């Protein structure tokens, strides 16, 4: 994932999806917006369900030449022909995932609100580092990323950075100059029209 001039959109699936409906929903969003990458981020640990979901999403994504990574399941990423993995344990698994998946795979690292973890992940070979949540988010402990982290990161570190979690149009506007990707998921999937919700959220980028 190359560093863009303007932030690119990184789509995150809901934690639970209906395989009869979601692939069509995903296709509609991909056909209506420019998406750089998709993260399959299901809460389930059921390998059969994850495999079926990955197969369905991969078909939709790869038909449009869009990369698909899976959250945390390195071996599934390899087995199912996905483009890489998104790790949620900061820098701890980056080296082993890289060794397992090879140089061409995408290995991303979620580092919460920690600059230190982000730097370690970058040094370990992560292709991108994600920080979040940037806004109020139902699943967190109330801590949010200091916007200055993105400003510092973009000035000092070359590893691409993702802003995600609790995004609003105002945050998109304020962070657009300091982040390489916006990770967008919960913000749109609950809407009746996810594509319209996505366009409303990202219109602030200009």
Q: For residue 108, what pLDDT is reported?
A: 98
Instruction: For the chain of 206 residues, list the mean pLDDT of each consecutive stretch of 10.
Output: 74 97 98 98 97 98 98 96 97 97 98 97 98 80 90 97 97 96 97 98 88
Helices (H), the chain: 22-32, 47-62, 74-79, 94-101, 115-124, 147-156, 169-175, 186-189, 194-202
Q: CB neighbours of 139 closer than 8 A, spacing ≥ 6?
A: none
Q: How far apart are CA 17 and CA 22, in angstroms?
A: 6
Contact between 185 and 11 under an 8 Å Cβ cutoff? The reply is yes
Q: For residue 3, what pLDDT is reported?
A: 46
Q: CB neighbours of 8 closer than 8 A, spacing ≥ 6?
A: 1, 34, 35, 36, 37, 180, 181, 182
First vs last C-alpha separation in the chain: 22
pTM above 0.75, yes or no: yes
If one counts every other C-beta atom within 10 angstroms of the C-beta of residue 43, the result is 8
Q: For residue 139, what pLDDT is reported?
A: 55
Q: For residue 5, what pLDDT is reported?
A: 72
Q: For residue 137, what pLDDT is reported?
A: 67
Q: For residue 206, what pLDDT is reported?
A: 67
Q: For residue 138, what pLDDT is reported?
A: 58
What structural domains does the chain harbor?
Answer: 8-205 (3.20.20.70)
How far is residue 34 from each of residues 28, 61, 113, 163, measured CA to CA in Å?
11, 12, 27, 17
């Amino acid at each position: 994932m190359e560093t863009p001039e303007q932030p690119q959109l990184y789509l995150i699936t809901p934690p639970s999806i209906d395989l009869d409906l979601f692939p069509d929903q995903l296709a509609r969003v991909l056909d209506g917006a420019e998406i750089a990458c998709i993260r399959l981020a299901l809460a389930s640990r059921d390998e059969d369900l994850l495999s079926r979901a990955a197969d369905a999403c991969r078909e939709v994504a790869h038909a449009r030449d869009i990369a698909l990574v899976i959250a945390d399941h390195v071996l599934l990423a390899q087995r199912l022909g996905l483009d890489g993995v998104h790790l949620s344990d900061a820098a701890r698994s980056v080296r082993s995932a890289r060794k397992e998946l090879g140089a061409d795979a995408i290995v991303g690292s979620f580092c919460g609100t920690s600059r230190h973890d982000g730097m370690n992940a970058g040094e370990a070979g992560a292709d991108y580092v994600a920080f979040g949540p940037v806004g109020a988010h139902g699943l967190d402990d109330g801590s949010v990323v200091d916007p200055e982290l993105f400003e510092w990161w973009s000035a000092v570190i070359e590893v691409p950075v993702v802003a995600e979690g609790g995004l609003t149009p105002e945050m998109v506007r304020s962070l657009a100059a300091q982040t390489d990707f916006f990770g967008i998921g919960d913000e749109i999937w609950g809407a009746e029209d996810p594509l319209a919700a996505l366009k409303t959220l990202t219109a602030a980028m200009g």
